[in-house]
Amino acid sequence: MTPDEYVEAVLELVDRIPPGRVMSYGGVADALTERSGRASARLVGSIMARQGGAVGWHRVVNATGAMPPRLAAEARARWLSEGTPLRAGRVDMRVAQWRPGEGM
């Protein structure tokens, strides 16, 4: 699998996350590991840093259900817009975490 295809796979997976649901970077990495054999939360983070603008980046959060200060405001607005379950100002991961194969 070439790097480009790997990036594509990540973007496609993120694109498949339904509105109002989210996935953690680690979750995306884990899902991609089964498909591409290699992934890590940092890799997904790096890819989002470059290509994030091309997809619904607000549907990918870190393990605490929050986002870096830089994106927190924008992300919160989008979460409210899509009705993402929030808890104490962060995404309620217990409920909002989505995994591929669910809802198809």
62 makes contact with DNA (CB under 7 A): yes
86 makes contact with DNA (CB under 7 A): no
Q: Pick the piece of the chain touching DNA (CB under 7 A) from 51-59, 78-86, 95-103.
A: 51-59
CA distance 75 to 84: 10
Of 18 and 64, nearer to DNA (C-beta) is: 64
93 makes contact with DNA (CB under 7 A): no
First to last CA, the chain: 26
Q: Helix, strand or coil for residue 53?
A: helix
